[in-house]
Amino acid sequence: MPHLLHIDSSIRGEHSISRRLTARAAAAWRAAHPDGTVTYRDLGKQPLPHLDEAGGLARMTPPDQHTPAQRASWQLSEELVAEVAQASTVLLGLPLYNYGAPSSVKAWVDHLIAPGLAFDPETRAGLLGDREFIVVASRGGGYGAGTPREGWDHAEPWLPHGISQTGLEPRFITAELTLAPGVPAMAELVPLHEESLAAAERSIDELWVPASAGV
């Protein structure tokens, strides 16, 4: 049975563009998979604990030798990896904060990088690669080629590398200049924001359209 893992990470609540777009994507997925099921995780409202000394050492210590703190961290990683493993599609909302990914997303990735769960410790082969991974990214400014802050987006380039050991390969859909409508100094960029947002919405709407629909 098709299963969607839907993850949001924005801290902007109802004002979040990434939440708006992941909700649109989740609705499109459900329409295309009426028999499918959904698991939802909100990293913005319920962030995961970052790996501390116990969590880090839990990945280097045989489970039967774990301390209680190591065991708790490892069990959380088992839960998070299981959520991904049970999904046929993973949908992640990825806003850009201070030119990088939200720390909650970094914590999620760190928990996934667990030997024996997400990758084979001997061959290093990823164990989660046979599923779709859609990342809906939002950026308050513009960071494309030729812009004053070209290369300042460190979230989208990082994620494929950060998650690579698992075998997951993200496909990005990105909306830029999301702050333009509310920042007077960016008023002249509103048309570009609207164009970027519309393009992202079109890409989402086309994700799970049956091939026969275009015939």
**Closest to 143 in 3D by CA, of 118, 178, 110:** 178
Number of domains forming the structure of the chain: 1
pTM for this prediction: 0.95
What does the radius of gyration of the chain's CA atoms come to, in whole angstroms? Answer: 18
**Closest to 102 in 3D by CA, of 45, 52, 60, 151:** 45
User: pLDDT per residue over 110-126, tens digit each?
Assistant: 999 999 999 999 999 99
For residue 193, what are the domain limits?
A: 3-214
Task: Say what the pLDDT of residue 209 is.
Answer: 85
Tokens (6 digits) for 124: 């290093």
Is 213 a residue whose pLDDT tops 90? no
- CATH number, domain of 84, equals 3.40.50.360
Per-residue confidence band for 29, with pLDDT thresholds at 50, 70 and 90: very high
